[in-house]
Structure 1
Amino acid sequence: MKICVISFDFWGYDEHIVDTLRSKNIEAYHIKLADVTHSNFSERATNAVSKIFLNKNLKTEKRQKFVLDSLEKLGHQDQILVLNPDTFDLSTLEKIQKYSDRLITYLYDSLDRLHVEKEKLKLFDKIFSFDIADVQKYGFEKLTNYIYLPHLCNTKQDQKMDLFYITSYDNKRVAFIKLLTKRLLELSLKFQIIVIGKKGWKHQLKNIFISVPENLHIIFSIKKINHDKLPKFYKNSRALLDLTRENQYGLSFRVFEAMALEKKIITDNEFIKTYDFYNPNNILVLNETCSNLDQSFFEIPYEKIPEEIYYSYTLDCWVSKVFELGNKN
């Protein structure tokens, strides 16, 4: 069987899908759009002028051509999974469709945040979505993100902190972090929060968190932390924080990273209570004032998730479901 995954994969999650397919002796390929960039100043300048005066993004056109050229070399595929359908023109998706017997997409963002036209969605034989609201509204098949990290018992980890969180700058999240930080300091809990933003935001963020001891709890950075280095931070903490974006109802990868490392989760996502792995001893859903956060939550031992439930969220199970591969290998 030949399967191709087409995605940006800025954070390296999608490469795990390809590796899992190959572990099942499937001929799997990955067309990675993040690898396509403007290689020099001249190309970047030309693209900037094109976007301003012609309303045309040459980088987008370059990426779509790269996908079609790659498929031409790879040949016909039994299945193609497109993970960023919003980034493609309708005509490009129609050409991609011709290279496969089965065209699939997985929407790991809500349509409210990343809109995909109906004409594009009609091209797919199967549409999976992590967002509960979109599943109910559009009839997509519900599918969460997945556990990609190896399972590691929390007793084998060096847990020096109570809570860790890393996030990109987001107005909704930052406002909530300020409220939560006050509560964490009241409880004398050890925590670290890393906020990653653009140049010029660092001073603004410091003003927001002026009451927090500098360099002690919150780090402001313009440099991204590589995806594969995050587990090192996670292993140092008893719990991970996960805050939603505006109009987000699905579960982020943070939840599944926590499951793999047997970490407790503190979140503002009420929908997590509807999942079969939900356990109030492991998961705390914050109220609007964070007043329900208490030190006892960190003191109660983590309760292991039943093996059958845990497996249903692994990448092995995810891949089998998406590509209809039958029983696990």
Structure 2
Amino acid sequence: MIKTFQGKSIIVGTPKDFEINKMIIKELRNVGFDSVFEISFKYQKFKYKNLWQHAKSFCKKNFGNRPHYKQLLRFEQIEPDLIQQLNELPDVDYVLLIRPDVYSPSYIDVLKKKSKKCVAYQWDGLKRFPAVNDVIQKFDRFFFFDPADLEGNGVLPVTNFSPISYRPEELFDSERITDVYFSGSYFPKRAAVLGKILSQLFKLGKSIKYRLNAWKLRENKKYNLTTTREFITFEENMKNSYNADVVIDLVFTGHSGLSFRIFEAIRFDKKVITTNQAILKYDFYDANNIFVWSKKSDIQDLKRFLDAPVNPISDFLKTKYGFENWIKYVLDEGEYISINLPEN
């Protein structure tokens, strides 16, 4: 069977956090791409050239609606080398940028000339990264995952996706088995909510594994939670989720888009405890599978949820939110199921 992208080529740029770029490249090769060229990068240490540049950055950040202006300055520092690397690549069929706000407009102009179709996906909200507005019109198709960001600009809706290239035998690990798993970055409010949820689960006799990631040691003494500086890869996180019965998902302040944990749970028929109220509006929501935690939640509600059997997700929904359908929809190639977002 000939795959849609067999014989096709793509340039892809993604964040390198937790080696998520490696997962995306694996997914692209799995759906048939013969040639995958990566332009992801890691920032180098940055030092302001002078007091004027520092002051300008301060003003842009605090008064110019550019909270990540320093990010662009850091990119400018490495841009000449990145453009030289880009010019050495052959022309391709597609370009896919995830988090296009980390690239400068001038770099994107050069990048566009390398492909027949250039698309981008912003998987963080506009409130956090408003600078992305400067580059939306440079792309043939531009996507957001938060319903609040879809007004105007000709942008399109899309969710995150389920990785489909990982087989159960790759993911199963008897030493990782647990009832409940959580992984996420540390923020004081997030740690407090996590503590409340875990304390209820502990009372119900559930085994728990959690990771609160932070560069510095942090602690929530009330719930005896501590952070770790030992960051693990996206693939390791997925293995941990796969070997848990229940995955906890705590929405990031500032957007209501759904995290990867949700789509992994869809693929592997896992239960989810989430603070993201927006999930109630999605077509895969099932009260047996998804518990929306709020201030009103109590231990009996949680117990009823955990005791109820999982309702297997339909093959249609697993296909819809799987990577193969996702990339066909994003690139507008082949037959696909459109991925819409609920009304804000």
Match of 2:14 in 1: 7
User: How far 1:314 sits from its partner (Å)?
Assistant: 0.6
Q: Offset at 1:32?
A: 1.7
Q: Which amino acid aligns with 2:35?
A: E
Mapping 1:1-329, distance limit 5 Å? 1-23=8-30, 24-34=32-42, 38=44, 44=45, 47-50=46-49, 54-55=53-54, 59-136=74-151, 139-149=154-164, 150=166, 152=168, 161-199=178-216, 201-202=217-218, 205-209=219-223, 212=224, 218-291=225-298, 293-327=301-335
Distance 1:117 1:310 in 2: 30
CA separation in 2, counterparts of 1:91 and 1:279? 45
C-alpha contact (below 8 Å) 1:20/1:319 kept by paired residues: no
**In structure 1, what is the Cα distance between the partners aligned to 2:51 and 2:101?**
21
CA drift of 1:312 comes to 0.5
**Preserved contact between residue 173 and residue 243 of structure 1 (Cα < 8 Å):** yes
Structure 1, unaligned runs of 5 or more: 39-43, 213-217
Runs of 4+ in 1 over 6 A off after TM superposition: none
Residue range with higher mean Cα deviation, 11-20 or 263-272: 11-20
Is the 2:99–2:124 Cα contact (8 Å) retained in structure 1?
Answer: no
Q: How many residue pairs are counted as aligned between the two chains? A: 307
Please tell me the root mean square deviation across aligned C-alpha atoms, in Å. 2.7
Residue 118 of structure 2 contacts residue 140 of structure 2 at CA under 8 Å; is this kept in 1? yes
Bigger mean CA offset, 96-105 vs 56-65: 56-65
CA-CA distance at 1:52 after TM superposition:
6.2
What is the deviation of 1:220?
2.5
Deviation at 1:274, TM superposition (A): 1.5
Identity between Structure 1 and Structure 2 (%): 24
What 5-or-longer segments of structure 2 have no aligned partner? 1-7, 55-69, 337-344
Distance 2:20 2:287 in 1: 28
CA distance in structure 2 between the partners assigned to 1:223 and 1:109 by the alignment: 24
TM-score after normalising by structure 2:
0.79
Residues 21-56 of structure 1: CA deviation (Å, up to 9, x unaligned): 33424432111213xx54xxxxx4xx3353766347
